[in-house]
Amino acid sequence: MQDIFALPIEELQDLFVAAGLKKFRAKQVFQWLYQKSVFDFTAMHNLSKADIAVLQEKFTVLPHSLEILREQNSSDGMTSKLLLGLPDGNSVETVLMHHDYGYSVCVSSQVGCDMHCAFCASGLKGAVRNLTAAEIVAQVYLFNERLREQGAMVSRVVVMGSGEPMLNFDSVLQALDFLHREDTCNMSYRNMTISTCGIIPGIKRLEEQGNPINLAISLHAVKNELRTALMPVNKGYPFVDVLTAAESYSKASGRQITYEYILLKGKNDSPQDAELLSNYLRYKQASVNLIPANPVPEQGFERPSKAAVERFLRILQKNRINATVRKEMGKDIDAACGQLRAKFAKEQEQK
């Protein structure tokens, strides 16, 4: 059986005709899938029983095949996190966040991660494989299905879950292009963000694409030895070169770069660190998103005090750096990337 999720309408038409279905059925199914977020052929009411039987025999729809292994909802009702079981037995996390401007989904781009950032749970066991474009799109549409009764749908997507998006560039861009289509989510590229640890070839490819997708850089330190210790990728792509590539992207796309900076107690949260960060970002089209660390027990990092976070922020603002402290969402539901998947895997090993 062939999975038809996230295929272009033209390819869907060819498959349906080859299966003995009328060509116009492809448009009907396409509308059910991407405008109504209905993934069960039997619920597509304008299809004949005979055609439904053919569809069930020959095709599958990925969101309908995913298993929800775990679900966690924050106490304030603003964040939902799912651990999704994929058909091949692997699992990934995806998160829905409710903001005052609508709904955003943080999607994963890989099963696991090979970046091995010291403070992150995603890479505890490395990367297993890249996700397909359909598997990335499905993370958005699972939540669209849930929001359907409210007459709502996801309006923003952030590729900031498990995995390094620039190491799965083609599938990530294919997924975002699909979500951008007028006959699917009709999502603006300006409502999409790709977060990278600083894979410079990927940043350059994104610039060549020419779409105004937002770029976020996981920076986390501006002392070379410290950043290498926290983020081994700094050996291959030193952060000063990453800043240069990001600034080039900003000028080409017209989009401000967001620099993610996780604050780790006693590691990178001193006034000196704040001044140094200001020096590197001064006069750049950039903003800083300060992230007080979510504790990851396996890694032994602590969260700075509220006073230390506010002091760091004040120094950046004094130096005219646009900076904010990330609004915490889902702290009570294993909010850190990879945390839920790691916990689930540990439980399975202990059985």
Q: Are residues 151 and 138 in the same domain?
A: yes
What's the CA gap between 133 and 331, in Å, rounded? Answer: 29
The DSSP annotation for 141-194 comes to HHHHHHHGGGT----EEEE-SSS-GGGGHHHHHHHHHHHHSTTTT---GGGEEE
Q: Are residues 21 and 85 in the same domain?
A: no
- What pLDDT does 331 receive? 60
167 is in an annotated binding site: no
pLDDT > 90 in the chain, percent: 84
Q: Are residues 119 and 204 in the same domain?
A: yes
Number of domains, the chain: 2
Mean pLDDT value across residues 31-42 = 97
Q: Are residues 94 and 158 in the same domain?
A: yes
Q: Are residues 151 and 195 in the same domain?
A: yes
Would 47 be classed as within a structural domain? yes
- 260 classed as catalytic: no
Other CB atoms within 10 A of residue 299 CB: 15
- What pLDDT does 124 receive? 73
- What pLDDT does 77 receive? 84
The DSSP annotation for 48-84 comes to -HHHHHHHHHHEE-HHHH-EEEEEEE-TTSSEEEEEE
Per-residue pLDDT tens for 232-246? 999 999 999 999 999
The DSSP annotation for 81-108 comes to EEEEEPTTS-EEEEEEEEETTEEEEEE-
Q: Give the pLDDT band (50/70/90) at residue 292.
A: very high
Helix (H) or strand (E) holding 195: strand 192-196
Q: Catalytic one among 10, 337, 347, 349?
A: 337
Checking if the pLDDT of 296 tops 70, the result is no
Per-residue pLDDT tens for 317-336? 999 999 999 876 656 555 55
Q: Are residues 153 and 24 in the same domain?
A: no
62, 85, 100 — which closes off a domain? 62
- What pLDDT does 121 receive? 76
- What pLDDT does 35 receive? 96
Would 298 be classed as within a structural domain? no
62, 80, 102 — which closes off a domain? 62
CATH assignment of the domain containing 33: 1.10.150.530
On whether the CB atoms of residues 136 and 185 are closer than 8 A, the answer is: no
Q: Are residues 92 and 57 in the same domain?
A: no
Its domain, for residue 43, covers: 2-62
Q: Are residues 221 and 95 in the same domain?
A: yes
Checking if the pLDDT of 348 tops 70, the result is no
Q: At a CB cut-off of 8 Å and minimum separation 6, what does 96 contact? A: 79, 80, 81, 82, 103, 104, 105, 143, 146, 154
Q: Are residues 81 and 185 in the same domain?
A: yes
On whether the CB atoms of residues 186 and 228 are closer than 8 A, the answer is: no
Would 290 be classed as within a structural domain? no
Q: Catalytic one among 93, 135, 207, 260?
A: 93
Would 225 be classed as within a structural domain? yes
Would 240 be classed as within a structural domain? yes
44, 62, 80 — which closes off a domain? 62
- What pLDDT does 130 receive? 98
195 is in an annotated binding site: yes
Would 267 be classed as within a structural domain? no
Would 302 be classed as within a structural domain? no
84 is in an annotated binding site: no
pTM, to two decimals: 0.92
Q: Are residues 86 and 11 in the same domain?
A: no
Q: Give the pLDDT band (50/70/90) at residue 301.
A: confident
Q: Are residues 118 and 197 in the same domain?
A: yes
219 is in an annotated binding site: yes
Q: Quick one: which of 42, 44, 18 has its CA closest to 31?
A: 44
Task: Find the largest Cα–Cα distance for the chain.
Answer: 70
Mean pLDDT, all residues of the chain: 92
Checking if the pLDDT of 213 tops 60, the result is yes
Would 260 be classed as within a structural domain? no
pLDDT > 70 in the chain, percent: 91
- 71 classed as catalytic: no
Q: Are residues 145 and 72 in the same domain?
A: yes
CA distances (Å), 270 to each of 263, 265, 275, 280, 324, in order? 9, 9, 9, 16, 17
322 is in an annotated binding site: no
277 is in an annotated binding site: no
- What pLDDT does 347 receive? 52
Checking if the pLDDT of 345 tops 60, the result is no
Per-residue pLDDT tens for 86-102? 999 999 999 999 998 89
- What pLDDT does 333 receive? 55
CATH assignment of the domain containing 129: 3.20.20.70
What's the CA gap between 66 and 134, in Å, rounded? Answer: 12
Per-residue pLDDT tens for 128-184? 999 999 999 999 999 999 999 899 999 999 999 999 999 999 999 999 999 999 999
Mean pLDDT value across residues 61-71 = 95
